[in-house]
Amino acid sequence: MGTWPDGTGWGPSRTDGSTGRVNREPGRERGLEMDDDAGKSGHVPVMLERVLELLAPALAGDAPVVVDANLGLGGHSEALLAAHPALHLIGIDRDPFAIEFSTRRLAPYAERTTLVHASSDELEEVLARAGRETIDGALFDLGVSSPQLDEGERGFAYSYDAPLDMRMDTDQELTAEVVVNTYSAAQLVRILRDYGEERFAPRVASLIIKERAKDPITSTKRLADIVRQAIPAATRRTGGNPAKRTFQALRIEVNAELSALEAALPAALDALALGGRAVVLSYHSLEDRLTKQILTARTKDTSPPGLPVPLPAHQPRFRLLTRGAELPSEEELARNPRAASARMRAAERIRVDDQD
């Protein structure tokens, strides 16, 4: 198993555990202007046609509800709202700027949207507040958004010199700077190994510890230089920027991405009505592996082996809609190279019983 070359992702937990504001006022700071088309061209919704196709059968009723758990710039959401005139969309994002931007973008559909600044792992609470017990569709588009990557000062990219930040939710306290300067060597090794699949995790961690003792490490450039020095020269010459794996690991840690997915995807699946569908787009192998585990666990018959008749309570509640992970087409990759690391999986609710 390897880390995909363009691996990008996100997701910390809100430090105060609260659900954010609903239907916030649109903001205009940070150059997030719609009229220059930056939103639409700067971020192209990944595998859009396939997302629409997979969700459509679940959204054919009189008043379908869909949750977009990674609203971002609202690209997928806008297309869903346009395609389904009776659809109500609940959009969640932990990045306040994504909510501001999408509030403006989706203004033509304001009566059919509820946009919430929250982490997707608060999904149950978000649905309760919105007065929705069940939903018909759920979309998880897990990667970082283009503005998060492209706005150098947010500290996600090793290609810009910026403060070591990497928070998706700019209200949370934990930053990459805190991780790099306060975690123990053992903690750093664990995250570099587990989240970055960095072969040289102990070397990178020990150089970080040595360097931070001289002076706190506060910039992306200094961290990228330290990683470069820690990686043996022969390895440095092959396979891209050596800082990529460390930056991915830090981003996953800062944003608690995997634990957010681990809580949010099951909550969305539990909320799906009969015939409801969930679609997940992952951008690195750890996310895809977790998605696969969560989806396949629910599509299995769990009857004890050897029974003459399968037990109804052990019958699967879901069926997979994708064979393995689906990839973007060559044509999409030519238009949007950032889609290269995308892997899509989807499932449909086929049974609801008393426990649900």
Ligand X SMILES: C[S@@+](CC[C@H](N)C(=O)[O-])C[C@H]1O[C@@H](n2cnc3c(N)ncnc32)[C@H](O)[C@@H]1O
Q: How far is the CB of 301 from ligand X (least distance, A)?
A: 31
Q: How far is the CB of 94 from ligand X (least distance, A)?
A: 4
Considering beta carbons, is residue 260 or 344 the nearer one to ligand X?
A: 260
The yes or no reply on residue 218 touching ligand X (CB under 6 A) is no
- The residue ranges of DSSP E strands in the chain, in sequence order, are 65-68, 88-93, 113-117, 135-141, 272-282, 318-320, 343-349
Count of residues interacting with ligand X (CB under 6 A): 22
**Of the candidate residues 55, 93, 162, 242, the single one contacting ligand X (CB under 6 A):** 93
Q: Which residue has the tokens 């949370």?
A: 172
Helix (H), strand (E) counts: the chain: 15, 7
Q: How far is the CB of 104 from ligand X (least distance, A)?
A: 13
Give the per-residue contact string, 105-134, with ligand X (x = CB under 6 A; - = no). --------------xx--------------
**Burial readout 313-332 (b: 16 or more C-beta within 10 A, e: otherwise):** eeebbbebbbeebbebeeeb
The yes or no reply on residue 177 touching ligand X (CB under 6 A) is no
Interface stretch with ligand X, choices 29-37, 65-73, 155-163, 192-200 (CB under 6 A): 65-73
CB atoms within 10 A of CB 335: 11
* Contact present, 80 and 56 (Cβ < 8 Å): no
Tokens of 315: 């019958």
Q: Using CB atoms within 10 A of its CB, is residue 70 exposed (0-12), middle (13-18) or buried (19+)? A: buried
326 DSSP 8-state letter:
B
**Of the candidate residues 67, 87, 95, 243, the single one contacting ligand X (CB under 6 A):** 95
Q: How far is the CB of 173 from ligand X (least distance, A)?
A: 16
Interface stretch with ligand X, choices 69-77, 206-214, 293-301, 314-322 (CB under 6 A): 69-77
The yes or no reply on residue 220 touching ligand X (CB under 6 A) is no
What's the start-to-end Cα distance of the chain, in Å? 35
The yes or no reply on residue 45 touching ligand X (CB under 6 A) is yes
The yes or no reply on residue 20 touching ligand X (CB under 6 A) is no
Q: Which residues are annotated as a binding site?
A: 74-76, 93, 141, 148
* Contact present, 277 and 54 (Cβ < 8 Å): yes
Q: Which residue has the tokens 């994504």?
A: 98
Interface stretch with ligand X, choices 141-149, 231-239, 288-296, 316-324 (CB under 6 A): 141-149
Closest CA to 165 of 148, 141, 182: 148
Interface stretch with ligand X, choices 93-101, 200-208, 303-311, 321-329 (CB under 6 A): 93-101
27 DSSP 8-state letter:
-
Window 234 to 273, contacts with ligand X (CB under 6 A): 260
Considering beta carbons, is residue 74 or 276 the nearer one to ligand X?
A: 74
Helix, strand, coil in percent for the chain, rounding step 5: 45, 15, 40
The yes or no reply on residue 100 touching ligand X (CB under 6 A) is no
Residue 245, φ and ψ in degrees, nearest 5: -70, -40
Q: How far is the CB of 272 from ligand X (least distance, A)?
A: 18
Q: For binding to ligand X (CB under 6 A), which residues are involved? A: 10-11, 43, 45, 70, 72-76, 92-95, 98, 119-120, 141, 143, 145, 168, 260
